Structure 1
Amino acid sequence: MEAIVGTPEVATKTAYRRCSRCVLDTTVSDIWFDEAGTCKYCQIHDEMERLHPLANMEEDLERIIRRIKKAGRNKTYDCIVGVSGGRDSIYTLFLARKMGLRPLAVYFDNGWNTEIAVSNIRKATDLLRVDLHTVMADLDEFKDLQRAFLKASVPDADIPTVYAIHSVLYETAAKQGIGYILHGHSFRTEGTSPISWTYMDGRYIKDVHRRFGSGHVRSFKIMTLPYLLYYSLVKRIREVRLLEYIDYNKKKADETLAHDLGWVYYGGYHHKNLYTKFFQSFLLPNKFNIDKRKTELSALVRSGQVTRREAIAELEASSYKYDRSVVIYAVAKLGWTLEEWEAVYFREPRSHKDFKTYLPLIRLLRLPIWVACKLRLLPHILYLKYAS
């Protein structure tokens, strides 16, 4: 059992350095710094601030809301909101209703959500009078996909869920004839996850599953690049990160949701899902030396919600704490004995670079992607994170 909490050796190729502005550091392998010591991800943040300035937020928000309402005129729903029970997705749903939109809430159930998260979804949709569409993954099928990523020994073992949610949202929008998907991400509170920490695309998922999984994924579609282009360019489905159009503050959002919707916090960053809790609090820090608190804290530092000194103090006060019982639960639910899990856990770490991905093609097509982002056909972060 002790081996479960061991730490595989992770090679350190460069001297340690921390960004002079945020708290991201050289544990991010693809990081770079300018002459002032500011990191790549601070510069991405500044570009996003330029695209979504707080000074114009009311005007920009009203414009996008008018556009969504116009596109959804005479339809049952004018947008889709993916809900997970977490703060960001529930607040996006709350804001959509407050702005007079008629959303369809879509929930992808991968079998790992906590009762708190499920209760948050139920209360929010009931009180806001929003219809809820639930897509159930085949649990055996999905666990096979999760096991494949763990066997592949990459730090992207949670992307099957994230990517499945995106795929389900686009597929539902296409079937319902809905032109807008409202996304609950905010660069001001979550930042941009480094590509070496989180990479995902449909080709990558299929290649990992082909090499380390078994059977086929049939309960939901793994959206490949051609499908994404079809949904975006032909079906003209747009993804809108609604929280980028407001001065989004985590503490204030928590207070509002608790007061108006009876929303309950689940105790940690994305800990509403037990697999994600296992993955982020145990697997990433111990096997890959990745602490995702740094991404969120860096975003909060850049947006002025915490100071850099406070963020550093939080990181240095303690390592990312994990619940041993959640690790044991996850291993058992995945269908492994402790000995089988240890054999997987101690495999040498790898990355998305060891598998087939669309990344070379994305970088080859960086100019047309830039144009598509400028025309708001694709989210601009796609260019900044993957193509720039």
Structure 2
Amino acid sequence: MAAAVVSAVERPFNAPRVPRDYQICVRCVMDTSDSKIVFDAEGVCDHCRTFDAKIKPSWNPKPEPGPEFLKLVDQIKARGQDKDFDCIIGMSGGIDSSYLTYYAKERLGLRPLVFHVDAGWNSQEAVNNIEQLVDKLGLDLYTEVINWEEMRDIQLSFFKAGVPHIDTPQDHAFFATMYRFAEQYDVKYILTGANLSTECIRNPIEWMYYQSDSIQLRDIHRQFGSRPLTSFPTTSILRHKVFLPYVRGIRVIRPLNYITYNKQDAIKLLVERFGWQPYPQKHFESRFTRFYESYWLPQKFGYDTRRVQFSSLILTEQMTRDEALERLTQLPYCESTITQDFEYIATKLGISVAELQSYMDAPNKTYRDYKSQELLYSLGAFAMRALGLEVGGKR
């Protein structure tokens, strides 16, 4: 297989803004917008090679879960026998968490508590999707509302910091709140929609730094925030990777890794059974995330998260490379509505459109410009993979 030759048509609008010859993988659609990407002599990237060597051999999903996973399901049921629910599912209203909620209740016979964190950015479609599933499945919904003034202040801090990962405060609050609830109410099992079928390639760390790094979150807020974070929920890598699982016995389970999970089939089922409303792109259930992934990242930094999403689907045979390349020729945002979206984000944050634009125009920064626990994450990931406790591509 020859190395990729890039035509003017194939080269994307958001080609990397780094002094490096442009190259795109001949198998997936990851390219040199990932500054650390490596290509072999055949033009295949290290994301693909990692999938072949590290993920595919140990990941063998089947239409029905195997006996080992069903044994775990029985343990979950037994542990929660005398309780109102036997596990919790973090639900955003997106495709993965929505399908997981259906699957856990209808196919596995579990009694999950649907757990939702409202950070102030839910789209109306997300609200409707959550309500439809909860009502039609007969489940209970628990919603935790994050203090808006604190959320607003810390999100503005990230804009001012000039980093790519401005969605960190929202994600951090989601995970921290769910872990805190599980610990407080002695819930031993958290089910999550994270899966290898649609997420076998991870976002490069320079695109999306670790959301759980509380050191960086606090450092950015200390430098750019204007009010104390008195109620904003925080967690840490040691807390949720060591203390909670090994001291408190709280396990995070990814059921979609044990079954054949096809994104389009899941959407079809949810639409037909629940009147579920699809989104134009993964993660667009949040209006902030929609702005962040479709505009902030590609326009300011040249990072297009669709490359990661499409490449994952290519490797799991849910999308062709030609289809992905065709879709990448289209802008990631809607040209007819981006002005309204821009105004909405500014108004919601209590700033002018001009101020928001000034953050777009300011010098770009990275996670390396602020305090972090990157070394700890790197050592932890190495140890987890060495022990066979985690699989997945590089960040």
TM-score (norm 1): 0.89
Match of 1:225 in 2: 237
Pairs within 5 Å for 1:90-169: 90-98=98-106, 99-169=108-178
- Between 1:354-363 and 1:79-88, the stretch displaced more is 354-363
Selected match of 2:207 from 181, 194, 197: 197
Asked if 1:350 corresponds to 2:358, the answer is no
Instruction: Give, in angstroms, the shift of residue 268 of structure 1.
Output: 2.7
Selected match of 1:39 from 41, 45, 51: 45
Pairs within 5 Å for 1:256-271: 256-271=269-284
Match of 1:315 in 2: 328
Selected match of 1:242 from 231, 255, 258: 255
Asked if 1:51 corresponds to 2:58, the answer is yes
Structure 1 gap ranges (5+)? 1-6
Structure 2 contact 14–302 (Cα < 8 Å) conserved: no
Counterpart CA distance in 2 for 1:135 and 1:13 is 45
Q: CA separation of 1:135/1:218 partners in 2, compared to 1, >3 Å: closer, same or farther? A: farther
Selected match of 1:64 from 60, 72, 82: 72
Q: CA separation of 1:340/1:160 partners in 2, compared to 1, >3 Å: closer, same or farther? A: same
Counterpart CA distance in 2 for 1:312 and 1:131 is 42
Structure 1 contact 282–327 (Cα < 8 Å) conserved: no
Match of 2:90 in 1: 82
State the SS of the aligned residue for 1:223. Answer: coil
When the two chains are superposed, the root-mean-square deviation of aligned CA atoms in Å is 2.2
Match of 2:36 in 1: 30
Residues 235-264 of structure 1 show CA distances to partners (whole Å, capped at 9, x for unaligned) of 121112221112111111111111222211
Aligned sequence identity (%): 33
Equivalent AA in structure 2 for residue 49 of structure 1: K
Equivalent AA in structure 2 for residue 253 of structure 1: A
State the SS of the aligned residue for 1:150. Answer: helix
Asked if 1:285 corresponds to 2:292, the answer is no
Instruction: Give, in angstroms, the shift of residue 105 of structure 1.
Output: 0.8
Instruction: Give, in angstroms, the shift of residue 209 of structure 1.
Output: 1.2
Match of 2:9 in 1: none
Instruction: Give, in angstroms, the shift of residue 344 of structure 1.
Output: 1.7
- Aligned pair count reads 373
Pairs within 5 Å for 1:319-338: 319-322=331-334, 323-338=338-353
Counterpart CA distance in 2 for 1:158 and 1:53 is 32
Counterpart CA distance in 1 for 2:391 and 2:71 is 18
Counterpart CA distance in 2 for 1:8 and 1:32 is 19
Structure 2 contact 14–304 (Cα < 8 Å) conserved: no
Instruction: Give, in angstroms, the shift of residue 271 of structure 1.
Output: 1.7
Counterpart CA distance in 2 for 1:380 and 1:292 is 21
Selected match of 2:196 from 183, 187, 190: 187
Structure 1 contact 107–134 (Cα < 8 Å) conserved: yes
Q: CA separation of 1:147/1:101 partners in 2, compared to 1, >3 Å: closer, same or farther? A: same
TM-score (norm 2): 0.88
Counterpart CA distance in 1 for 2:291 and 2:177 is 24
Selected match of 1:275 from 272, 280, 288: 288
- Between 1:105-114 and 1:205-214, the stretch displaced more is 205-214
State the SS of the aligned residue for 2:227. Answer: coil
Structure 2 gap ranges (5+)? 1-12
Q: CA separation of 1:329/1:258 partners in 2, compared to 1, >3 Å: closer, same or farther? A: same
Q: CA separation of 1:158/1:319 partners in 2, compared to 1, >3 Å: closer, same or farther? A: same
Instruction: Give, in angstroms, the shift of residue 233 of structure 1.
Output: 1.6
